[in-house]
Amino acid sequence: EDKVVQSPLSLVVHEGDTVTLNCSYEVTNFRSLLWYKQEKKAPTFLFMLTSSGIEKKSGRLSSILDKKELFSILNITATQTGDSAVYLCAGRYNNNDMRFGAGTRLTVKP
């Protein structure tokens, strides 16, 4: 059984669109949820969320965690072609285990 599940697996939008990426996680020993962007090589860190209901923002990207419903969303507004990437969600657990979702492949067309 997967600990972290992302949806959709892929998404194609046009520049200027707003997208919402979803991530659900298993609660047992949960500590924090992280979002990463992966283009061609190594993932780069976007957000870490530990508290429910507090939105984290960075430019056009924002993310929030719902610890009651066990999910997080990543929003990207006014998408640009440079946002095209795989977005990975990961749950970090108290035993230092890290579990990644399969990722959402976002393609932004001009």
Partner 1 sequence: NAGVTQTPKFRVLKTGQSMTLLCAQDMNHEYMYWYRQDPGMGLRLIHYSVGEGTTAKGEVPDGYNVSRLKKQNFLLGLESAAPSQTSVYFCASSPPRTGWTDTQYFGPGTRLTVL
Residues at the site binding partner 1, with contacts judged by CB under 8 A: 4, 6, 31-32, 34, 41-45, 48, 50, 88, 90, 92, 96-103
Q: E strand or H helix at 49, and its extent?
A: strand 44-49
Residue with the two structure tokens 């997967």: 2
Nearer to partner 1, 17 or 62 (CB): 62
Supply the minimum distance, in Å, between the C-beta of residue 16 and partner 1: 28
- φ/ψ (deg, to 5) at 82: -70, -10
Supply the minimum distance, in Å, between the C-beta of residue 19 and partner 1: 19
Supply the minimum distance, in Å, between the C-beta of residue 79 and partner 1: 22
Nearer to partner 1, 7 or 80 (CB): 7
Supply the minimum distance, in Å, between the C-beta of residue 9 and partner 1: 8
* CB-based burial label for 30 (10 Å; 0-12, 13-18, 19+): middle
Q: Report residue 67 as tokens.
A: 């610890």
Nearer to partner 1, 79 or 92 (CB): 92
β-strand partners of 14:
109
Nearer to partner 1, 28 or 45 (CB): 45
β-strand partners of 88:
36
